Amino acid sequence: MRLEDCKFIVTGAAQGMGRHFALRIAEAGGQVAAGDVLEAGLGALAEEARALRGKIHVQKLDVSSEGEVASFVAFAHQAMGGLNGLVNNAGILRDGLLVKKDRTSGEIVTLTRAQWQAVIDVNLTGATLVVRDTVAKMAATGSRGVIVNMSSIARHGNRGQSNYSAAKAALAANTKTWSQEFAPFGIRVGAVAPGMVKTPMTDGMNDKAREALVKMIPVGRIGEPEDIWVAVKFVIECDYFNGRTIDVDGGLSM
């Protein structure tokens, strides 16, 4: 698929990688329906896109809300005059060891159900709802296209990320599952699994932890959103790519 032909939903588009992806598609002449819970960020995105070849349509979207997902997909289809793809990018972190001993009190502390559920609701259930409703709309209208899931190298397992690793591993597995299920509709499914990338999410990490992680990256630097966009662009443009996950991590082993 050519970027200028895109009529794509991008979730988590108000900042970080999602914002970068939306702007890149619009720069190439495509259309984007950008969703996020951060409405101020969406407004700034729409303003920046005014001078681009393509167009970005914005509306608030909480992917963990089934009603908001259904409403957003309908909005996207109407605003763009069709729908042929998705960059399934929205995600959050609520890191913590499943079981640990408090250094001060010696008390055994566990990951809370709320920490677990918040990540599963957004990163897995929400991501699945967006895929389901997007593909249903595409199938109903006979639109061929591509779904790009954002997984993570944490899907292989990472200390302190039981919730995040579980969600991202499931997305990678379902990339294969959905590629088989959606093939009759002419819809491909691919995934990109970033390593450590400079975004507002990673900017919030503990400095010592971030420095230690960067030292483990063979290329010697943290990734940039553009590094990940190159892989997303490949999945969109290569019509023979399907059912696979691409790691873009600078060679990092977690």
Please give the single-letter amino acid code of residue 153: I
Q: What is the pLDDT of residue 206?
A: 75
Tens-digit pLDDT profile for residues 64-82:
999 999 999 999 999 999 9
CATH node for 3-245: 3.40.50.720
In one-letter notation, the amino acid at residue 192 is V
DSSP for 183-212, written as a single string: GGGTEEEEEEEE-SB-SHHHHTS-HHHHHH
Give the pLDDT confidence score for residue 208 in this predicted structure.
80
Q: Which of 8, 21, 116, 164 is catalytic?
A: 164
Q: What is the structure's pLDDT at 211?
A: 83
Asked if 164 and 95 count as a contact pair (C-beta separation under 8 A), the reply is yes
Burial of 243 (0-12, 13-18, 19+ CB in 10 A): middle
Is the predicted pLDDT of residue 46 greater than 80, yes or no?
yes
Any bridge partners for residue 243, and if so which?
none
pLDDT of residue 254: 65
Predicted confidence band of residue 210 (pLDDT cuts 50, 70, 90) = confident
Tell me the CB-side half-sphere exposure of residue 7, using CA atoms within 13 A.
Answer: 18
Q: Between residues 254 and 92, which one has the greater pLDDT?
A: 92
CB atoms inside a 10 Å sphere around CB 205: 14
Residue 199 pLDDT grade (very low, low, confident, very high; cuts 50, 70, 90) = confident
Please state the domain extents for the chain. Answer: 3-245
Average pLDDT over residues 111-135: 98
What average pLDDT is seen over the chain? 96
| Catalytic residue flag (residue 164) | yes
Task: Tell me the mean pLDDT in the region 213-238.
Answer: 95
